[in-house]
Structures are given as structure tokens and as C-alpha cells.
Amino acid sequence: RAAEWQLDQPAWSGRLRITAKGSTAFIKLEDKTSGELFAQAPVEQFPGIAVEGVTDSSRYFVIRIEDGNGRRAFIGVGFVDRGDAFDFNVALQDHFKWVRQQSELARQAQDLEQGPKLDLGFKEGQTIKLSIANMKKKEGGTGSTRPRPAGPGGLSLLPPPPGGKSGSGERPAPLSTPAQLPGTPITDSLLSWPQPTAAPAADVWGDFAKASG
């Protein structure tokens, strides 16, 4: 209990620092002016016997100091400000949390080394086949192209533009090949298309002439 200590007349006052070397944390009590070491307490685990909180205050602790020659002593340490006591606790907790994480990573690495290793290399004579979608095999070293539909006589023709009439009023030049546009008879020595018979001129408007009004 901290109430049993002589809190109004401390035996020593100074500053406290926490350092770490490997997995061990060191609580160092130093002179606040010169930085001379007064005592230090190595902490190998927390919570543990090296650092214990008192039962009647959150600002006071009992720490086990060592002189390096095997001699140990338990002393009471208190903080004037409650925030400093909180930082003291958090610093020790963060250090040993990091120690546990490093230990877990080392254990996982050891398990991977001891486990079976996968041989992902190619064996001698082993091949692999890849199937890639939307690709066709090239023949003869050149890519195959889609043929355009050919018109009569082997000439490739484009469909006529919509509208059917030219806005400029000019007539298109006649084709120089025997092939003609679709819908017109082909005059060729090998083909004979029947010619449509023209209706008599007198019957063109015959039905309309009989209509009344």
C-alpha cells in the first residue's frame, strides 16, 4: 500500500526512462539534471514480479532494481502526475506486445522451413500449353482475314448509300467492267437474262381514267 510510505519525504526524486535491448525492457532512474544513473530495473515480462502496481493508487508501483552483481532490492516508485503513470504502463505494454509479435513471426517462419517445400520448376522435357480465348491460329505465317462478299463478275461492291439520290445532281461514271450494280441485268456472252416486257402505253393510266371524280 502506498499510504504506508512517506510520500511527503521521498528518499530520492529524479526522472524515469524506459529503454529496451532485445526482448528486455530497462526502467532507468536518472538524475534529472546530470542524467547520472541512480538505479535500473530489468523487466523480462509484464505484468510480472519486476513491476507491480500497488493496491490503493494508480500512480505508484513497486519495481525490482539490480546492480549487475546479482544484488536486488524492491523499492516503491510514484509519479506526481497521473498521466505520467499512464504513459509508464503503456510503454511497457507496447514493448512486450512487440516482443510477442516477433516471437509469433519467428515461429511461423520456422514452421514454413520445416514443412514440405514445393518444387515449381519445369522438369526435363516438360511443356505447358496455354489456352487464350479470342485468338485464332495463323496459317502460312500470315493472319487470316475475313473475305468480303464479291459482286457479279468477281468485283467487290459496296452497298449504295441511303437515300438513293445524289444531292449534287451529277450522274455517276459508268463501270468499266462487265459487272453491274445489283438489280440490273448483266449483259454477258455467257449469261442470258430475260428482259421485262413493257406494258402498253394505253394501259398505264387505264384504271385511273375510269375512276370517278
Domains of the chain listed by start with CATH number: 2-114 (2.30.29.30)
Q: What is the pLDDT along the chain (213 residues), one digit of tens a residue?
A: 888 888 888 889 999 999 999 889 999 999 988 989 999 999 998 888 999 999 999 999 999 999 888 899 999 999 989 999 999 999 999 999 999 998 888 888 877 777 666 667 777 777 878 888 776 555 555 555 565 555 555 555 566 666 655 555 555 555 555 555 555 555 444 555 556 655 555 555 555 555 555
Do residues 28 and 16 lie in contact, with contact meaning Cβ atoms separated by under 8 Å?
A: yes
Kindly tell me the sign of the dihedral angle through the C-alpha atoms of 18, 71, 78, 48: positive
Beta strand 24-30 pairing with 37-43: antiparallel
pLDDT of residue 78: 92
Do residues 63 and 51 lie in contact, with contact meaning Cβ atoms separated by under 8 Å?
A: yes
For the stretch 170-192, pLDDT in tens is: 555 555 555 555 555 554 445 55
What residues does 21 pair with on adjacent strands? 24
Beta strand 37-43 pairing with 51-53: unpaired
Encode burial over 116-149: b for 16+ CB neighbours within 10 A, e otherwise. Answer: eeeeeeeeeeeeeeeeeeeeeeeeeeeeeeeeee
